[in-house]
Amino acid sequence: MTAPEPVTIGVKFCGGCNPRYDRGALLQKIRDARSDWAIDIAEPGTVYKYLLVICGCTSACADISELTAEQICRITAPEDAAEVIRSACSETAE
């Protein structure tokens, strides 16, 4: 029996003009919590299961127009990440 393919996660950071938390540290926490996910900086032309748009504030102004994903998850505060992980985990367990 082969292992399931890892969930593909693309990450897009905002420009960082008004960060209210450490966005890089948050991404590391997500990586630590979900080592079974394939998490990469999002690139145009790749289709991701999830696109995590990690924004430093509630403006959520990151341009994702050239990125493609089945589901887009905007994170504007650290507590948003916990919900994204819960949602993705319950979906991938089905």
Long-range CB contacts for residues 30-33, cutoff 8 Å, separation at least 24: 30/81, 30/84, 30/85, 33/85
Q: Which pTM does this prediction carry?
A: 0.85
Q: What is the pLDDT of residues 24-80, one digit of tens each?
A: 999 999 999 888 889 999 999 999 999 999 999 999 999 999 999 999 999 999 998
60 Rama class: left (phi>0) / alpha (psi -120 to 50) / beta: left
Residues 67 and 10 sit within 8 Å (Cβ to Cβ): yes
pLDDT at residue 7, rounded to an integer: 84
